[in-house]
Structure 1
Amino acid sequence: MSSAEHWDVPGYTVTRELGAGGGGRVVLAVHERSGAPVAIKYLSEELRREVGFVARFRREARLLVELDNSHVVRLYEYLETARGAAIVMELVDGPTLRALLREQGATGPEAALAVLKGSLLGLAAAHATGLVHRDYKPENVLVTADGTSKLADFGIAVRAGEGGEAAGTPPYMAPEQWAGVPASPASDVYAATAVFFECLTGHRPYRATEHAVLRHLHQTAPVPVEEVPEPLRRLVERGMAKDPVSRPSGAAGFVAELEEAATAAYGPAWEERGRRRLAALAAALAATFPLNRVRPLEAGTSLFTTALRSLRSVRSKGFLLTAGAVLLVLTGGGIGAYALGSAGYGTPIGDPVVAATGPGTPVVPETAPEGTPETTPEETPAESPSAAPSQTPSHTPSHTPSPASPSGRPSATPSHTRTARPSASAPGSTGHPTPRPSRTPSPTPSTAALKVADLGVSGLTYKAGAGSGTVTVKTNGPGTVRLAVRFTADGTVKATRTLTLSGATTYTRTVSADLGRLCSGTWGMSVSTSPAAAGGAGEATAKVPACPTTVTAIKVGTLTVSSTGAAAASVTVTTDGTGPVTLTGRFAAASATGGTRTVNLSGATSYTRTLSYTFSSRPCGTVTITASTSPAASGGSAARSVTASCPASVSRVSVQNLSITGTTATATIAVTAGNTSAVRLNLTWLSGGERVSTQTYNLSGKTSYTVTASYTYSRWPCDSYAVTASTSPAAAGGASTITRQTDSCIK
């Protein structure tokens, strides 16, 4: 029994139950203020009493809150009160990648690249916060109706450098994960590439039943790149390198390599085509989407951990998931809301290494017959409990509901509810071949035909890509009414929903759908009923609120520095909307104090502005401008640097020593420059006060120099010898001279 049987999360209106099981119940709800659809899991009392589970889940909730990224399933709220505990998270109205692969096989190169890019962006967001996912696999990748992929289930995620135990799902574990090496982003890159391989080929890189064999293959076997398209082999080789040092160090770096390879192989429009392909594959499973189902399914909720442990320490639990069930996965505290395409049991393996204890266990047969698709436990349909009675109808006739008693109401012919004969609809029945006429109750002549007296649409709300509205239906009786809802944007149908109503005469339903990102124009809902309403279809439209502008790119052009110290650079900003953006340029130089310039932008989607700043003194050496925006650009700030040359200057020149040996005089001269620009040192040698020779030295690259110079007189300098040192440009203190006295010469 759910801990929330008589308790609802405040601020949400429950639309219907999506599933229930030992972990609690999952409901589809609408956030009352925004109208956004969400999934709410009410935890069972059994789980709430497990202190260790609750502690792990709180930790996981804190981690997920940090990951506000469009490629990661978002956690909205975690509530824990004396009355119960509940999790509110993003409802992803689409299938898992596992469901797509199971139903469609290989996705094609462009769709596989689109999945890999979306997953890498989700992983990059996690890596940026210091998290390593450790359990990337098709079951944890969700595909929305527009082909966007989202990453789910951070149940065994840890901080980078932590987690020194073997953990993950064996078919996708990196070699170092098997050895229990502390987690690193490179392990996630390996797993994502292994799934990429599966999208390209329809099967995993390594297929084996025994974990020991899988471990050996992942750690030693060559990657079978010959099975993937030739333009993508290098990507697979890089991502699945045995040594993590040889892989991209993180998901963000791998995205750049992926885009380069994809563009070279399939052209610049590869991503758009890939997402369209994914959307088409997902559309084939649209009937299983949470928002498309009318009745709650008898779904199982699953609690499992994908950490490798000794089988002796694990008590296995089996969980049945019916076809198309919505599963809110709690993996050691992790969460992922998604729709499953078929049923399956998670079966633990009798091997010392166990990857999972629930339906997430990915186990592959070691070999498969020629032409036979590989299967896994989650890929093998399991019989529904309702199928059992049909196999033994003669012994369990009461298990087959009488068609004369829909919705659990009493049969029009009571005697038939007690018969020991099997239902006429039961396979293999040996009863009378012709059913009695009384099995189909005759309508009461006095019953009036069902009519829809009133139909209305109101309360349209659009936020974060989701549109919702309130539909009101009034009838003259409790019969069945079918409701068809179309969501439009500027006259184009974006989504449809179908609901079945019965058992009352007045109905109020909040209906929502994902419309994608809309930034202008109008959107609306058109509602019709069967039987048709007296006043025809109901319609309502609303203006689309303007989207908050985001900066998609920022680029700095050439930076110039004038002789007066004025620096200037052109900056180009590209946005996805016309809303306000603040552009700031920060100028800096090692030899002078810098400053900032700010420009406000709006009304367009592309801007080029020249930012300038005049330094208080002429800067020398490296000058840099760093441009940033608010809101921040997706790629961060941009910068440009230039080396500014300065006029040479000399602050001091000094002759420090002068001596003579025989007729050769030697002097030591020190020069202090104002910068590293070139200066010239000029030496004048004198004898008896008369100039006899000059020397020149070119100096550059430093600000302090010591020069030793020598000059040999043609004969002994009579009375005195001297040297004068000067510079060009002239030193601030002028030239420097040292004179030494000598004996007079006999004339």
Structure 2
Amino acid sequence: MARKIGSRYTANQILGRGSAGTVWLGEGPEGPVAIKLLREDLASDEELVGRFVQERTALLGLEHPHVVSVRDLVVDGNDLALVMDLVRGTDLRTRLDRERRLAPEAAVAIVADVADGLAAAHAAGVVHRDVKPENVLLDMQGPLGPGGSHPALLTDFGVAKLIDSPKRTRATKIIGTPDYLAPEIVEGLPPRASVDIYALATVLYELLAGFTPFGGGHPGAVLRRHVTESVVPLPGIPEELWQLLVQCLAKAPASRLRASELAARLREQLPMLAGMPPLDVDEPETEAPEDAEESAAAAPVTEEQRVRRRGAVSLVPGAKPDSNRDTHTSMRVPGPDELAGGARGTARVPRAAGAPRPGSARHRVAARRRKVTFAVAGVVVAAAVGVGAYLATSGDDSAPPRETQSTSSP
């Protein structure tokens, strides 16, 4: 059912729902538009509305071929909306869900487009703060690029900053999507341009591998990995591309490349990636709870269970996720002892297909079975040795007794 948004726009059809609001296909004075209507409970926050108006100039001035431009910001009664260019296509998450992972050439071309868009945003003083596949749109009407990739555009600029008001987050909360959060955000530092580089490098890793480098399991464990764990190498990735990924996933923000540098370096990689098939990497298993029943833990994990386990914590209780990850999470900042992790660690290491992840419940069950097998084998060997010794000593009664060396004192 159509509804009016302000005096100039009409929202006709819902395109998607997220934890921050609903995206509509709309109509404006200049033709079709996309309208992101924020949730009513967010729109009723006077402080957020004030920030919304303050960001108007910065968001309206951000124009680039790889950025979904914001045409207008509407504040009308209970309606708080961003009116944006309409992109005819799909988002990168949808393509990932369909293909699981992309060929390196296409993945690098898409990320290079997004890096170009980020470079323009950072030059204008705008930090995205929520770079992830859900916020990358693929223009299906645009010309095909390297690897058959469609032009990529980054959307939802300003949404994370608008929601991240002091009243909502204070100094002990985190705004962002766990899988893509830079370590400095987890540690409570203010977000700067380098957080977008870290998130974009995480997206590139995910496009190549089919999973994020530190994701999976409870959001608290994901946040801890960002701070304490090193990224695990991907088999088959060219060394130059891998070193680029490692640099942009560095824990220290100053070690990462700028967006313009990243875009240029990625485009330099494209010729050597031409024709390379998607990497053959098995996705690591999500950690099982320590107190889980071994029989249940050893059971196969369905695709539905895997997706559900990887979910994040909603910013707004009861909010629906964009897809299998929520747009934002609102959590307390972990303490130093929590960030330090345990002796077992939490790294998600790629492994051979079907092999249990070290430290998981399936791994412990397999280890216990090996111990039982070794114990049984030991008993069998001992029995065989005993029988052999008996036969050797009793086979010839006429043999003279064997001499032994005495250890007693004279």
Scaled by the length of structure 1, the TM-score of the pair is 0.34
Query: Cα 1:8–1:175, aligned 2, differ >3 Å: closer, same or farther?
Result: closer
Gaps of 5+ in 1: 275-307, 322-339, 355-363, 373-747
2:179 aligned partner, one-letter code: P
Corresponding residue number in structure 2 for 1:319: 319
Tell me the distance in 1 between the aligned counterparts of 2:255 and 2:327. Answer: 35
The structure with more helix, counted as a fraction of residues: 2
**Cα offset, 1:366, TM superposition:** 7.1
> Equivalent residue of 1:111, what SS?
helix
- Per the alignment, residue 178 of structure 1 pairs with 186
Cα offset, 1:184, TM superposition: 2.5
SS of residue in 1 equivalent to 2:109: helix
| 1:168 matches 2:176 | yes
Q: Measure how far apart 1:44 and its partner are.
A: 7.0
Residue in structure 1 matched with residue 49 of structure 2 by the alignment: 54
Q: How does 1:618-657 map to 2 (within 5 A)?
A: none
Q: CA deviation at 1:183?
A: 2.3
SS at match of 1:17: strand
- What CA distance in whole angstroms lies between the structure 2 residues aligned with 1:187 and 1:224? 20
Question: Which amino acid in 1 is paired with 2:188?
Answer: G
**Structure 1 or 2: larger strand share?**
1
How far residue 315 of structure 1 moved from its aligned partner, in angstroms, is 7.6
Tell whether the 8 Å contact from 1:209 to 1:366 is kept in structure 2 after alignment: no
Aligned to 1:529: none
Q: Residue in 2 aligned with 1:241?
A: 250
Question: Alpha carbons of 1:102 and 1:120: their partners in 2 closer, same or farther (altered >3 Å)?
Answer: same
**Offset, 1:347:** 11
Q: Among 13, 24, 27, which residue is 1:17 paired with?
A: 13
User: Unmatched 5+ residue regions in structure 2?
Assistant: 143-149, 279-311, 335-345, 355-410
For 2:59, the aligned partner's letter is L
Report Cα offsets for 1:354-401 as digits up to 9, x if no partner. Answer: 9xxxxxxxxx997999758xxxxxxxxxxxxxxxxxxxxxxxxxxxxx
Secondary structure (helix, strand or coil) at the match of 2:267 reads helix
Measured after TM superposition, the shift of residue 77 of structure 1 is 1.4
Tell me which residue corresponds to 1:138. 133
Amino acid at match of 2:48: F
Q: Provide the residue aligned with 1:151 in structure 2.
A: 154
RMSD across aligned positions (CA): 4.3
- For 2:183 and 2:63, locate their aligned partners in 1 and report how far apart those are by CA, in whole Å: 30
Deviation of residue 185 (structure 1)?
Answer: 1.9
Aligned to 1:219: 227
Structure 2 partner of 1:253? 261
Distance 1:365 1:350, change over 3 A: farther
Task: Name the CA shift for 1:228/1:220 in 2 (closer, same or farther; >3 Å).
Answer: farther
Counterpart residue type for residue 136 of structure 1? V
The question of whether the paired residues in 1 share the 8 Å contact of 2:178 and 2:329 is answered with: no
Name the count of aligned residue pairs.
292
Q: Distance in 1 between matches of 2:315 and 2:192?
A: 29
C-alpha deviation, 1:346, in angstroms? 4.8
Deviation at 1:17, TM superposition (A): 2.3
Distance 1:140 1:227 in 2: 28
1:192 is matched by which residue type in structure 2? L
Alignment of 1:326-725 (within 5 A): 346=326
Structure 2 distance, partners of 1:24, 1:258, is: 33
Alignment partners' CA distance in 1, 2:211 and 2:180: 12
Partner residue, 2:273: 266
1:470-503 CA distance string (max 9 Å, x none): xxxxxxxxxxxxxxxxxxxxxxxxxxxxxxxxxx
Compute the displacement of 1:117 (Å): 0.5
Q: Identity across aligned pairs (percent)?
A: 31
In the alignment, the residues of structure 1 paired with residue 62 and residue 27 of structure 2 have an alpha-carbon distance, to the nearest angstrom, of 22
CA contact (8 A) 2:214 2:222 kept: yes
Paired residues of 2:188 and 2:333 also in contact (CA < 8 A)? no
Name the CA distance, whole Å, in 1 between partners of 2:236 and 2:115. Answer: 19
8 A contact 1:105–1:202 mirrored in 2: yes
- Alignment-mate amino acid for residue 205 of structure 1: P
Amino acid at match of 2:180: Y
For the pair shown, which has the larger CA radius of gyration, 1 or 2? 1
Question: Are the equivalent residues in 1 in contact too, given 2:37–2:79 (CA < 8 A)?
Answer: yes
Could you tell me whether the CA contact under 8 Å between 2:201 and 2:245 is conserved in 1?
yes
State the match for 2:367 in structure 1: none
Which amino acid letter does the alignment assign opposite residue 317 of structure 1?
A: P
1:648-693 alpha-carbon deviations (Å, 9 max, x no partner): xxxxxxxxxxxxxxxxxxxxxxxxxxxxxxxxxxxxxxxxxxxxxx
CA drift at 1:68: 1.0
Is residue 2:32 matched to residue 1:29?
no
TM-score by length of 2: 0.59
1:170 is displaced (CA, Å) by 2.0
**Paired residue type of 2:12:** R
Provide Cα deviations, 1:218-255, integer angstroms capped at 9, x if missing partner.
Answer: 2333322333512421211221122222221x201222
Distance 2:221 2:180 in 1: 13
Match of residue 95, structure 2, among 82, 100, 107: 100
Higher normalized contact order (CA 8 Å, seq sep 6+, divided by chain length) = 2
- Structure 1 residue 202: Cα displacement: 0.9
Counterpart AA for 1:152: T
Equivalent position amino acid for 1:234 in 2? Q
8 Å CA contact 1:132, 1:185 repeated in 2: yes
Q: CA deviation at 1:199?
A: 0.5
Q: 1:187 aligns with which of 190, 195, 198?
A: 195
Task: Give the direction of change, closer, same or farther, for the CA distance of 1:318–1:365 in structure 2 (3 Å limit).
Answer: farther
Distance in 1, Cα, partners of 2:325 & 2:249: 30
Residue 38 in 1 paired to residue 38 in 2? no
2-side partners of 1:348 and 1:255: how far apart? 26
- For 1:150, what is the secondary structure of its paired residue? strand
Structure 1 distance, partners of 2:329, 2:78, is 38
